[in-house]
A and B are shown apart, each in its own frame.
Chain A
Amino acid sequence: MGCVESMNYEIVLRDATFKESRDYIRGHFRESIDVQPGFKVFDVHVIGLPPIAIGLDGDFVIFPYTKPCHGTFLLRVEDKAEAARLRALKK
């Protein structure tokens, strides 16, 4: 997973469709932002059908990570600075 592998991540969903991933974020997190494909979360360019939902839960960022052979993973990573950066984009 490249730089994703160096993160301390938790897999929330695995081998999901893109739609399942987006619905999960919208259904399980009160806070989320919509971004366009190619938007960078950490050092990852997110892949998917626009709009792409990114979840925020305190200092945790929940975002989709797509691999050609394994579908979309929903990853949960704790990072106060990144959560704050994304939260600021909502304003």
Chain B
Amino acid sequence: MADPVAGAKTALLVLGCPQVPVQTSIALYLMNRLKKAGITPVVAGNKAANTLLVVADQERHYLGEVLDLDRAVGLITDKKRTFDLCFVFIHNDAGVSYAATMGAITNARLYALVYGEHYEEQEKKIDFPCTVVAAKAVHNPLPLKKAIDEVAPWAA
């Protein structure tokens, strides 16, 4: 399978469990910033996380391609898809595991977006190369938005 637009930069957003409200909001925000910078965002998540985005963005102003998470891991591992940037949403142990996996199977520049009530506990587990963007954000996305803005990954 070819990348969405030949020659254009692409970014994979790996969604975690959507039980923490800020994820959907930050994903939409990040996709908008990436698109404005000419970077094509692709989302990979479980059914619930993906559906939250699909329903919130019916006209697909921000959302482009949406992949099942397991399928995305398979496509990347089998070298059928590549990405320039990869953002992994982390608020639990599984999120850290997915980030480590993305670090191992992709050559993409990796960003770990760590949030939630116990974000520091998850942050401590990250011992692999990546840019960590962390904030205590559960219902209010602004602390995480601010942390992302400071890193400005769309400009890297």
Contacts and interface: CB of A to CB of B under 8 A. Distances in A.
Interface of A: 2, 17-19, 36-38, 40, 45, 47-50, 66-72
* Chain B interface, DSSP helix/strand/loop, else mixed: helix
B101 A48 contact: yes
A48 B95 CA distance: 9
B115 interface: no
Contacts, number: 67
Nearest to A2: B70
Contact of A50 (B46, B93, B104): B104
A45 B128 contact: no
Contacts of A19: 125
Given A45-B73, A45-B74, A49-B96, A69 B101 contact: no
A68 B128 contact: no
Contacts of B69: 68
B101 A68 contact: no
Given A38-B76, A48-B101, A68-B17, 20 more contacts: A17-B93, A37-B101, A37-B104, A38-B73, A45-B73, A48-B97, A49-B100, A50-B104, A67-B46, A67-B94, A68-B15, A68-B45, A68-B92, A69-B19, A69-B46, A69-B48, A69-B94, A71-B92, A72-B93, A72-B94
30 contacts: A2-B70, A18-B94, A18-B96, A18-B97, A38-B73, A38-B76, A45-B70, A45-B77, A47-B94, A47-B97, A47-B101, A48-B101, A49-B96, A49-B97, A49-B100, A50-B100, A66-B97, A67-B94, A68-B15, A68-B16, A68-B17, A68-B45, A68-B46, A68-B98, A69-B48, A69-B94, A71-B92, A71-B94, A72-B93, A72-B97
A55 B19 CA distance: 32
